[in-house]
C-alpha cells in the first residue's frame, strides 16, 4: 500500500492536515516537499472518503534574522529582529515582507493544484485567538522549562517565561526577554545582547502579552497552533524530527501542559540541490518558483513523490537527471495506458496529477526535444508530428508544447556548455582532424554502411553504429568520440543515432567522408 493511503486507512474521525512556513525570503523547492506530502495525505483521505480539511499556516510573526543576499542590505538591515510581517515589502504588490514572499510561494501552490485553507499567525495573535493559550503557557512556565530540560537538555533560568514581546520602543521581537507574569501583564527587557545579529535597545517595562503584543517561542507556538486550529496530522522535516529535537519538545509540551496528544507525525527527508540543503535566507539552490518555471506541474509533483518521504531527494537539474525524470514518468504513463489499474507502482503517478484522474497521452521523449530544439532551421512542431507513432490528439499536442517550453527553459538556464548541442553544419570541426587511424577506419566503414541503410530512423541508425564497432572490433567509446568530434567538436553528446536522424542522410555521409579525407591528407603531409 502506498504510504499516504496507509496513513489514510489508519486515520479515525475528522482529520485536519496542517503544514506551515516562515517566509524569511524566497521559498526554495525544498519546502515544496512538505507541501506536496501534506497535499497527498489530504487527497488520500478524500480518496478513502474520510472527512478532512487541509490547512497551511504562515508563521509571519517570526523575527527577520538575516537579510537575504539578493535584497538591498542597507534597506533591510534596520529591520533585523522585527516580526517579518512588520518589515516592508521588497516590491510593490504586497503589503509587507511576509506577504510578498509567501505570495510567490502560493503561486506555485496554484500551479501544482494544491488548495489548502491558509491562515496567518499575525491574525491568530492580533484577533485574540491565542490569548488563552498564551495565558496557560505563562502560568505554567515552570512546566515548559521542565520539558526543555528533560527533552532537549536545555536549561532555562527560573525567571524565564515562554513569551517574546514586540518591544514598544524599537519594534524588535528577537531581542526581548520576559522574566515575570502577574496574570495580566508580563515584564520584559529588550536585551542588547540577546542575539548575535541585532542589538536590543535596552527598554524594559510591563505590557499585556495579549492581542498581538508579542508571540510564543516557536516550539510552544507550534503546540498552541495545533490546539487552536485542531491539527490531527502534521509531518515535519528530518531536521525537526531528531531525538530531543523541536518536534519531541513540542510533543512533550502538548502532553505535559495541555494534557493533549500531539498530531500524527512521521519525518521526511530533505531535498538537496547539487548535494546542498537549501536555505531560504541564503538563496542557496533554486527557488520553488524557478523550478516550477522549469518543470510541468505533474513532473514537479512526481519529483517529490517517486521516492519515499524518508529518502533524500538530490535534485541536480543537469541533462542526465532531468531526462531520466521525464523518462520515468513516461514509463508509468505507458504502463497505465496498457493496463489502467492503480497498482502500488502507479500511485506516485496518480498523486502527481492535478486532479483525481490520470489523463494518458502519447509520450514524446524529452531528450529528443532538447536535441531537436538545437538543430538549426528545423521546424520543431512538424518534426514532432512526423516522429510520433500515431496522430497527435489535442491533449498530446498540449503536452508536447509544455515539454518544448520546459526544454527551452532548461537549455537557457541550466544546460552547461558540455550539455549543449552545437552542430557544425557549414564546416568540419577543428578537433576532428586529429583522429587515430582506428577512428578514421571506423568512420570510413560507417559511411559505407550508412549508404545501404533503408530506414533513416534513430533506432536503426543507433543499431548500425553499434554493429559497425563490432564489425571492426573498435571500442565503443573510441568510435563515439570520433563521431561527436566530427559533428559537434566535442567528445560527448546525445545518442548518435538520434542525432543523425535529425540530419539529411547525404549530409551525414558527406561529413564522415570529409573527416576521413582530412585525416588521410594530414597523414600524407606528415610522411
Q: What is the pLDDT of residue 171?
A: 98
Task: Share the mean pLDDT of the chain.
Answer: 93
Q: Could you say which DSSP state residue 240 is in?
A: G
Domain C-terminal end among 222, 239, 271: 271
pLDDT band, residue 526 (cuts 50/70/90): low
Same domain, residue pair 127 and 4: yes
pLDDT at 276 over 70: no
Average pLDDT over every residue of 484-500 = 88
Highest mean pLDDT of the ranges 384-388, 399-403, 523-527? 399-403
pLDDT in the model for residue 283: 37
Cα-only R_g, the chain: 30
pLDDT in tens, 98-142: 999 999 999 999 999 999 999 999 999 999 999 999 999 999 999
Residues 259 and 287 occupy one common structural domain: no
Same domain, yes or no: 113 and 9: yes
Q: Which residue has the cell 529518502?
A: 311
Question: Checking phi first, is residue 87 left (phi over 0); if not, alpha (psi -120 to 50) or beta?
Answer: beta
Same domain, 106 and 82: yes
**What CA–CA distance (Å, rounded) separates 287 from 254?**
34
Residue 502: what pLDDT? Answer: 82
Instruction: Mark whether 307 and 443 lie in a shared domain.
Output: no
Query: Residue 418 falls within a domain, yes or no?
Result: no
- What total number of domains does the chain contain? 3
Q: Which residues contact 385 (CB under 8 A, 6 or more apart)?
A: 392
C-alpha–C-alpha distance, residues 90 and 93, integer Å:
9
Neighbours of 99 (CB within 10 A): 20
CB 133 within 8 A of CB 225: no
Distance CA(487)–CA(373), nearest Å, equals 16
Task: State the pairing for strand pair 214-215/164-165.
Answer: antiparallel
Q: Above 50 in pLDDT, residue 211?
A: yes
237-255 residue pLDDT tens: 888 888 888 999 999 999 9
Q: Given phi > 0 = left and psi -120 to 50 = alpha, else beta, which region is 113?
A: left
- Does residue 282 register a pLDDT over 60? no
Residue 266 and residue 282 in one domain: no
> Which region among 36-45, 148-157, 485-494 has the lowest average model confidence (pLDDT)?
485-494
- Answer yes or no: do 442 and 514 share one domain: yes
Residue 441: band (very low, low, confident or very high) from pLDDT cuts 50, 70, 90:
very high
**Is 235 part of a structural domain of the chain?**
yes
Judge whether 290 and 303 are in contact, CB under 8 Å: no
pLDDT-based confidence at residue 275 (cuts at 50, 70, 90): very low
**pTM reported for the whole predicted model:** 0.87
Instruction: Say if 514 falls within a structural domain.
Output: yes
277 pLDDT above the threshold of 60: no
Q: What are the E-state strand segments in 89-155?
A: 117-120
Would residue 421 count as lying in a domain? Answer: no
- Asked if residue 331 and residue 253 are part of one domain, the reply reads no
Listed residues 239, 271, 303: the one ending a domain: 271
Tell me, yes or no, whether 240 and 374 share the same domain. no
Residue with cell 486532479: 355
Strand segments (E) across 86-185: 117-120, 164-165, 176-181
Q: Which residue segment(s) compose the domain that 407 sits in?
A: 276-413
CATH number at residue 66: 3.40.50.620
| Percentage above 70 pLDDT, the chain | 96
**pLDDT tens for residues 27-73?**
888 889 999 999 999 999 999 999 999 999 999 999 999 999 999 99
Which of 307-316, 412-421, 487-496 comes out lowest in average pLDDT?
A: 412-421
pLDDT class of 9 with cuts at 50, 70, 90 = very high
The predicted structure's pLDDT at residue 31 = 87
**Could you tell me if 59 and 191 lie in one domain?**
yes
- Count of all residues that appear for the chain in the document: 527
Question: Are 441 and 402 contained in the same domain?
Answer: no
Q: Which of 96, 70, 74 is nearest to 289 (CA)?
A: 70
Same domain, 9 and 80: yes
310 has pLDDT over 50: yes
Amino acid at each position: 500500500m502506498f504510504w499516504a493511503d496507509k496513513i489514510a486507512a489508519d486515520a479515525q474521525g475528522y482529520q485536519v492536515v496542517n503544514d506551515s512556513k516562515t517566509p524569511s525570503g524566497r521559498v526554495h523547492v525544498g519546502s515544496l516537499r512538505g507541501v506536496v506530502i501534506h497535499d497527498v495525505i489530504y487527497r488520500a483521505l478524500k480518496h478513502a472518503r474520510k472527512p478532512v480539511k487541509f490547512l497551511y499556516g504562515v508563521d509571519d510573526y517570526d523575527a527577520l534574522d538575516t537579510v537575504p543576499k539578493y535584497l538591498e542590505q542597507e534597506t533591510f538591515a534596520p529591520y533585523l529582529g522585527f516580526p517579518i510581517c512588520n518589515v516592508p515589502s521588497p516590491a510593490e504588490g504586497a503589503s509587507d515582507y511576509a506577504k510578498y514572499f509567501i505570495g510567490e510561494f502560493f503561486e506555485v501552490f496554484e500551479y501544482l493544484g494544491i488548495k489548502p485553507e491558509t491562515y496567518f499567525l499575525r491574525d491568530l495573535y492580533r484577533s485574540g485567538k491565542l490569548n488563552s493559550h498564551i495565558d496557560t503557557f505563562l502560568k505554567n512556565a515552570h512546566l515548559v522549562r521542565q520539558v526543555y530540560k528533560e527533552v532537549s537538555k536545555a536549561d532555562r533560568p527560573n525567571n524565564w517565561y515562554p513569551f517574546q514581546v514586540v518591544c514598544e520602543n524599537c519594534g524588535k521581537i528577537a531581542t526581548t526577554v520576559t522574566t515575570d507574569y502577574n496574570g495580566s501583564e508580563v515584564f520584559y527587557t529588550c536585551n542588547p545582547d540577546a542575539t548575535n545579529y541585532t542589538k536590543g535597545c535596552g527598554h524594559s517595562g510591563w505590557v499585556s502579552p495579549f492581542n498581538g503584543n508579542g508571540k510564543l517561542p516557536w516550539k510552544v507556538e507550534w503546540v498552541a497552533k495545533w490546539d487552536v486550529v485542531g491539527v490531527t496530522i502534521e509531518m515535519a522535516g528530518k531536521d525537526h524530527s531528531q531525538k530531543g529535537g523541536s518536534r519531541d519538545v513540542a510533543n512533550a509540551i502538548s502532553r505535559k501542559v495541555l494534557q493533549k496528544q500531539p498530531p500524527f507525525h512521521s519525518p521526511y527527508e530533505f531535498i538537496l540541490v547539487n548535494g546542498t540543503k537549501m536555505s531560504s535566507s541564503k538563496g542557496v539552490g533554486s527557488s520553488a518558483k524557478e523550478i516550477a518555471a522549469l518543470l510541468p506541474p505533474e513532473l514537479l509533483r512526481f519529483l517529490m513523490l517517486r521516492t519515499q518521504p524518508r529518502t533524500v531527494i538530490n535534485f541536480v537539474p543537469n541533462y542526465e537527471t532531468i531526462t531520466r525524470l521525464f523518462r520515468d514518468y513516461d514509463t508509468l504513463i505507458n504502463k497505465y495506458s496498457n493496463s489502467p489499474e492503480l497498482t502500488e507502482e502507479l500511485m506516485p503517478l496518480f498523486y502527481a496529477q492535478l486532479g483525481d484522474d490520470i489523463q494518458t497521452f502519447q509520450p514524446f521523449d524529452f531528450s529528443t526535444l532538447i536535441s531537436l530544439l538545437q538543430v538549426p532551421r528545423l521546424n520543431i512542431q512538424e518534426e514532432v508530428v512526423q516522429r510520433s507513432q500515431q496522430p497527435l490528439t489535442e491533449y498530446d499536442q498540449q503536452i508536447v508544447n509544455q515539454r518544448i517550453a520546459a526544454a527551452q527553459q532548461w537549455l537557457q538556464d541550466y544546460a552547461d556548455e558540455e550539455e549543449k548541442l552545437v552542430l557544425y553544419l557549414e564546416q568540419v570541426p577543428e578537433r576532428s582532424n586529429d583522429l587515430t587511424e582506428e577512428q578514421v577506419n571506423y568512420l570510413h566503414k560507417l559511411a559505407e554502411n550508412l549508404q545501404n541503410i533503408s530506414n533513416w530512423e534513430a533506432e536503426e541508425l543507433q543499431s548500425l553504429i553499434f554493429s559497425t564497432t563490432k564489425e571492426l572490433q573498435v571500442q565503443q567509446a573510441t568510435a563515439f568520440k570520433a563521431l561527436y568530434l566530427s559533428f559537434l567538436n566535442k567528445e560527448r553528446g546525445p545518442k548518435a543515432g538520434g542525432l543523425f536522424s535529425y540530419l539529411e542522410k547525404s549530409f551525414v555521409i558527406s561529413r564522415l567522408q570529409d573527416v576521413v579525407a582530412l585525416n588521410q591528407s594530414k597523414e600524407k603531409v606528415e610522411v
